[in-house]
Amino acid sequence: MPVHSGIPIVPQIGIGPRLSGTSQFAVALGPMRTHEFTADIQKVRGSHTLSAGVLYFRIHAFDDGFGTAAGFDQFPSSAVFESNSNVSSTEDGLASMPLNLPSSLVVFVGNTSADIKTHWIGSYVQDKWQVSKKLNIQFGLRWDYEAPPRYRNAQFTMWNMNCPFGTFTSPDQVRATQEACLMMPVPFTPMPTAFNPNPLSWPFPNARKSIWDPKYNGWQPRFGFSYVTAQKVSHWFDQCDLKRFDR
């Protein structure tokens, strides 16, 4: 039974076509840490109420997901003859499983965790202007910046969605496409092995160390107003209530 991050994993086993089998997928969450700082100030000067504030969030999130899966069906244990015409009607995944003849196998390898840090900065200024007893106007400006999340030690890769599509007939074409399309934030040169004497290599980073490009244009103007139209009506109701109370 494989163990990952201290958690024993029961493999996902599918037995077809009769039984769906058992499955398990483990997700380790935490730690999740959030630090917050906010500050606001306000000053009244004449008919103006001036406000300003800042906030800062720092977020550290960790999660992981891993599992294994094996699928057994009737094909490895079937009695094949006459151009496979009887494959679907003979044998079963229950027979293929004791023979250790899976038809599919999925295994999570490498570091599957996401250890991410990011921060968020916000600020604003605002003025509330009491133009008259009935009218006030509010206007201001806000700016927010959310930093692109960063993996710990830049341990992530992504696939370039603008990668060219087509049919590649030679190993050199396949290698060139993979080297161009796999986005690596750090240099990576695997050691050659007997099974892979000429591995792909990325001597130079071809992507940022953050998941997306930073955006600094988070400007947001604010405008609002309020106007009192029912002051006399409200005053009339107040007088009626007072007279009724006096009675």
pLDDT digits (tens, 9 = 90+) for 192-247: 888 777 888 888 888 888 878 889 999 999 999 999 886 554 454 444 444 444 44
Single out the residue of 44, 63, 42, 45 nearest to residue 53, CA to CA.
42
Determine the pLDDT at residue 80. Answer: 61
Determine the pLDDT at residue 135. Answer: 92
Which pLDDT tens digit goes with each residue over 47-75?
A: 999 999 999 999 998 888 777 788 888 77
241: helix, strand or coil: helix
Determine the pLDDT at residue 102. Answer: 84
106: helix, strand or coil: strand
Which of these ranges, 20-24, 26-30, 209-213, has the smallest mean pLDDT? Answer: 20-24
Alpha carbon 80 to its chain centroid, in Å, reads 47
Structure tokens given for 59: 């977020």
Beta bridge partners of 126: 51, 140
Distances (CA, A) of 100 to 17, 21, 26: 17, 15, 24
Which pLDDT tens digit goes with each residue over 76-124?
A: 777 665 555 555 566 778 888 888 888 887 777 777 788 889 999 999 9
pTM equals 0.60
Helix, strand, coil share (%) of the chain residues, nearest 5: 15, 45, 45
Residue whose pair of structure tokens reads 């094949």 in the numeric block: 80
Contact 72, 13 (CB under 8 A): yes
